[in-house]
Structure 1
Amino acid sequence: MRYTISDDFDTSLEHYWQVFFDDAYNAALYQHLRVGREVLDVQREGEGEALIIRRKIKLSPQREVPALVARFVKGAITYTEQGVFTARTNTLEVVTIPGFMADQLTTRGSYRVQALGPNKVRRTWDAEVTCKVPLLGGKVEKHIIEEVTTSYRDTTEFTRKWLRDHPAKTPA
């Protein structure tokens, strides 16, 4: 099942990505979303247009496991998000590996951020969820998309407020 989510932000491309990879922003965001976050690895290569960032984080939502998924999960839901950011294209390719059903559940997508003006960007998340569980696959896919969509709405509002409260620094 494919889906797309787009949101606009009042900031520059450079500032958007600075905030996106800022540890203070991420700590506050995931606390706001009630998701535990453990940074497993971050590697930076190159600079400017040649910058590539590889990031791997383990995430643990702090909420009840939905009944639809509960029978496949022992304990809490966790997943590992592996992302590769490429500055030249302003994209972040993401693969999410669940701590349960990893051989039957695939989630991957791409963030694209494009400038709409000097201080306006559009973030677009194009993704695909595939669940290979007979009879339940479509329901699981739909549930995951609903969860991600709700999380994106919360993330968007949080990010807009963060950008207002933490504007880009202008050169002296």
Structure 2
Amino acid sequence: MIEYEIVDEFATTPDKYWDMFFSDEYNGALWKALDIEREVIEFKRSGEGPDETIHRVQKLTPKRDVPSALRKLVKDAISYEERNEWRRKDNRMDVVTIPNFFADKFTTRGTYTLVAMGDDKLKRIWKASCECRVALVGGKVEKFVVEEVQRSYRATTIFTRKWIAEHLAT
């Protein structure tokens, strides 16, 4: 199992960040920029103010070639279902990711937390673990997935900072 953390800072408030994060406009532009197909399977919003929660399930399919180490395991493309449980009062979202290969032997989950750091500044913290329980290839799969998540977060951070500057600047 690999445990890892990714920390980034953004020039906005947690409330503005979450509103942007769940907006159709931001998501449409983000996933296109990352070259990932996105299909929203379920989206349920409930509660108001600090009691607001969102349950979201989406299928994500990166438009990239399957790495050689995984070609024998994946028929066409790598895709995954991402399940989000968000609570505004905690500035936190729990994420479970289920891939289209080894779903019964692969576990990846994490927590996405925002920490306010003064006026219009926050820290985004992603703490996660990735475990693939398959003899001989499990470690390679874990390494590939974590590297892919890290690469995606770097691109997402660049995109999000630009989006905030262009759309959320006060």
Same fold (TM over 0.5): yes
Shift of 1:2: 0.4
Tell me what 1:62 maps to: 63
Distance across 2 between alignment mates of 1:29 and 1:167: 15
Tell me what 2:32 maps to: 31
Tell me what 1:16 maps to: 17
RMSD: 0.9
Tell me what 1:77 maps to: 78
Tell me what 1:151 maps to: 152
Distance across 2 between alignment mates of 1:17 and 1:5: 18
Distance across 2 between alignment mates of 1:135 and 1:101: 14
Tell me what 1:41 maps to: 42
Amino acid at match of 1:99: N
CA contact 1:59–1:80 (8 Å) conserved in 2:
yes
Shift of 1:99: 1.1
Distance across 2 between alignment mates of 1:135 and 1:77: 20
TM-score between both structures, scaled by the size of structure 1: 0.96
**Structure 2 unaligned blocks of 5 or more:** none
- The yes-or-no answer on 1:96 pairing with 2:97 is yes
Describe the superposition over 1:82-131 as per-residue Cα deviations: whole angstroms up to 9, x where unpaired: 00001111100000011111011111000000100110000000000000
Amino acid at match of 2:121: K
**Structure 1 unaligned blocks of 5 or more:** none
Describe the superposition over 1:24-73 as per-residue Cα deviations: whole angstroms up to 9, x where unpaired: 10011000000000011100110111011000000011000011111110
Distance across 2 between alignment mates of 1:43 and 1:107: 22
Instruction: Classify the secondary structure of the residue corresponding to 1:166.
Output: helix
Shift of 1:76: 1.1
Identity in percent: 47
When the two structures are aligned, how many residues end up with a matched partner? 169
Instruction: Classify the secondary structure of the residue corresponding to 1:117.
Output: coil
- Structure 1 segments, 4+ long, off by >3 Å, are none
TM-score between both structures, scaled by the size of structure 2: 0.97
Amino acid at match of 2:5: T
